[in-house]
Amino acid sequence: MIEVSELSKEYKIVKKQPGLSGALKSLFHREYMTKKAVSQISYSIDQGELVGYIGANGAGKSTTIKMLCGILTPSEGSIRVNGIVPYHERQKNARNIGAVFGQRTQLFWDIAVRESYDLLKHIYQIPEDQYKKNIELFTEVLQLEPLLGIPVRQLSLGQKMRCELAAAFLHNPSVVYLDEPTIGLDVAVKARIRAFIREMNQLHHTTVILTTHDMQDIEEICKRIIIIDEGTILYDGSLQSIKDRFGDKRVIHFELDLQSPFTIPAELSEYVSLQANGEDEEGRISLSFSNQAISGADVISAMLKEYHIRDLTIADSKIETIVQEIYERGV
Ligand SMILES: Nc1ncnc2c1ncn2[C@@H]1O[C@H](COP(=O)(O)OP(=O)(O)OP(=O)(O)O)[C@@H](O)[C@H]1O
């Protein structure tokens, strides 16, 4: 139902000249350079799939989602969503999709939430019974009742996000794109939002493409993940198979009293590696290793012999660790 083939997107950006004279010069003569944000990606997604679209900052996730929604036109390649080319038929595509983009709102700022929903009902021509049913269900699952009479501008971030999600699903779209739907929210609101997304998928077989930096979102919602790095796909497959493949990876975060720069103790050098961010001024470092090769207890005891450890935490979310490893070292 979503077919992406050899998709690329380049941005044309103005080359900045240094200093005031450079700024003045560029008023008259602009030099451009291109930035390849997405490069030759291909995949297909079936109806009803829950896909996590993940990658480090600047990897190309939002650019891809914007092309899927029809907001941006690809530089090369093609997209079809339910047979529609989104950037050619934006309006037709919009009837089939829902979207939530982080901080931006599709609700009307100055009117009560319920009135925004009424307007969306007219825009999408949602039949009365479907509208009523959805409002009732969404109000219950997302606990919207106390919010419906309030203008969007008076809502907190978490309240607004719950209202946004309801708006995105109101017309029973076949695909919903969610860009960071849980960013900055408290644990209870995150849980409610995740439960809502799962319920919508079960009820209507809605396809959900979710970009997030929160690996708990991925664990709780997605069956498949696509990892993107510098515009290309690093991994596309089931969450379970990546866990099976990399599930032995562990990370321990240490806070050390360092007198000199950190070096890995000789007895660990074969088994552990220092994570890419190295050490910070507080003496914090992270070591990753395979627990097939060495146990966490042995890593800690070797560290204790050489360093004074102020504190340590063992990374608790496996997928978090795996993804960090993949971002740093590839698949
Ligand atoms: N409008 C734009 N003009 C020029 N370059 C852009 C534009 N939008 C994004 N980019 C660049 O394209 C690359 C991919 O950006 P994109 O926003 O798709 O990444 P992302 O994976 O969504 O990142 P994040 O997790 O930080 O949201 C980045 O290098 C970014 O600087």
- pLDDT tens digit sequence for 136-190: 999 999 999 999 999 999 999 889 999 999 999 999 999 999 998 888 888 988 9
Of 233, 224, 190, 228, which is closest to residue 319 (Cα–Cα)? Answer: 224
What was the pLDDT predicted at 15?
A: 76
Classify residue 116 by its DSSP letter: H
Percent of the residues in the chain that have a pLDDT greater than 90, as a whole number: 63
Q: Is 100 in the pocket of ligand 1 (CB under 6 A)?
A: no
Indicate if the pLDDT at residue 30 is higher than 90: no
Q: How far is the CA of 59 from the centre of ligand 1 (A)?
A: 7
Atom of ligand 1 lying closest to residue 56 CA: 25
Q: Where are the alpha helices (DSSP H) in 142-265?
A: 157-169, 187-204, 215-221, 239-246
Give the class (CATH, top level) of 45-243: alpha beta
Residues contacting residue 82 through CB under 8 Å, at least 6 positions apart: 1, 96, 174, 175
Q: Which of 7, 8, 11 to mutate to test the pocket of ligand 1 (most atoms within 8 A of CB)?
A: 11
Each domain of the chain, given as residue ranges in start order, spans 45-243, 248-329
Given the cut 0.90, state whether the ipTM is greater than it: yes
Q: How far is the CA of 11 from the centre of ligand 1 (A)?
A: 9
- Of the candidate CATH numbers 3.30.70, 3.90.1200, 3.90.1150, 2.60.40, the domain formed by 248-329 belongs to 3.30.70
What was the pLDDT predicted at 109?
A: 84
The residue whose CA is least distant from atom 30 of ligand 1 is 58
Question: Rounded to whole angstroms, how far apart are CA atoms 83 and 220?
Answer: 30
The residue whose CA is least distant from atom 12 of ligand 1 is 37
The pair of structure tokens assigned to 121 is: 């009902």
- Band of pLDDT at residue 16, cut at 50, 70 and 90: confident
Q: What is the pTM of this model?
A: 0.80
Residues contacting residue 161 through CB under 8 Å, at least 6 positions apart: 100, 181, 182, 185, 189, 193
Per the model's pLDDT, the better-predicted residue between 185 and 237 turns out to be 237
- Band of pLDDT at residue 107, cut at 50, 70 and 90: confident
Question: Rounded to whole angstroms, how far apart are CA atoms 233 and 254?
Answer: 32
Q: Are 283 and 266 in contact (CB under 8 A)?
A: no
Atom of ligand 1 lying closest to residue 55 CA: 21
